[in-house]
Amino acid sequence: MKSNFSHISIDSVSKQYSPNLPFSLDKINLQIQSNTKFGILGPNGAGKTTLISILTGLIEPTSGKVNYVLNNGDSIHGIDLKASIGFVPQDFAFYPELTPLQNLHYFGALSGLSKLEIKVRSEYTLEVLGLTSVAKKKAHTFSGGMKRRLNLAIGIIHEPAILFLDEPTVGVDVQSKFAIIQLLEKLNKEHTTIIYTSHHLSEAQDFCTDIAMIDQGTIICTNQTSKLLEEYHSKNLEELFIKLTGQALRD
């Protein structure tokens, strides 16, 4: 599916959680091309988590639609789509009383992998993320960086074509951050499309090929990272961020 995936089409997507509340997303239109490292950035409460939740199928939009489009123009849905998506949330999404190996076996089976595939993929992900030596230790004993790396290992166990990452390096040591970014770069070179949110703007500037900035539920700019900086005469993403979203504190 990696080689056949063309783009994600987000067409006039809106989300209102209650009729008494303002729209969390208001007519979002966006295309995310395959093989990109696409950053969705914005202040707290801008709508990033809602958009990611809709893209991963965790919640439904109030209106509008999302299509995952193949090179032949067909869209994928249902089981095929779930098998093609990986999601690494900011919160740890594993069983702390289980070992990394047990967690990977469980989530691998949940993704429909065979026993052999689970064995091979578990060994690989544990090795590249530096967890082989603790593969049989319970995850609740791990440092924050080790837990973050295990979170990522679970998200990629089934080799997804599209990988969603919500703050993948928050609260980690420099070595864990380096290992995570190196693996993500490798996955992208192997044609995994990466969709990424973070408040680490310098990291996002180095990592993302393309960016959409969102505020108050709407897209305020989107383009290749270098072109956005040039267009808005900004020396870095932090300067651009403040220019477009202002200096007022957010909840």
215-232, pLDDT tens digit by residue? 999 999 999 999 999 999
Question: Quick check: is 184 in a domain?
Answer: yes
Give 176 or 117, the one with higher predicted confidence: 117
Structural domain count of the chain? 1
User: Structural domain of residue 54, as residue ranges?
Assistant: 5-87+160-245
What does the pLDDT read at residue 173? Answer: 87
Residue pair 36/209 in contact by the 8 Å Cβ criterion? yes
Question: Quick check: is 211 in a domain?
Answer: yes
How big is the CA angle at 9 (ends 225 and 47), to the nearest 5 degrees? 65
96-126, pLDDT tens digit by residue? 999 999 999 999 999 999 999 999 999 999 9
187-198, pLDDT tens digit by residue? 999 999 999 998
Residue 250 has pLDDT above 80, yes or no: no
The overall pTM is greater than 0.85: yes
Residue 61 has pLDDT above 80, yes or no: yes
Question: Quick check: is 118 in a domain?
Answer: no
Q: Average pLDDT in the 134-141 region?
A: 96
Confidence at 78, pLDDT banded by 50, 70, 90: confident
Q: What is the 3-state secondary structure (H, E, C) of 27-77?
A: EEEEEEECCCEEEEECCCCCCHHHHHHHHCCCCCCCEEEEEEEECCCCEEC
Question: Quick check: is 177 in a domain?
Answer: yes
Q: What is the mean pLDDT of the chain?
A: 94
Question: Quick check: is 154 in a domain?
Answer: no
Question: Quick check: is 225 in a domain?
Answer: yes
Question: Quick check: is 111 in a domain?
Answer: no
Q: Return the half-sphere exposure (C-beta side, CA atoms, 13 A cut-off) of residue 30.
A: 27
Residues in the chain: 251
What does the pLDDT read at residue 125? Answer: 94
Question: Domain of 24: which CATH number?
Answer: 3.40.50.300
Question: Quick check: is 234 in a domain?
Answer: yes
Which pair of tokens denotes residue 139?
């995850």
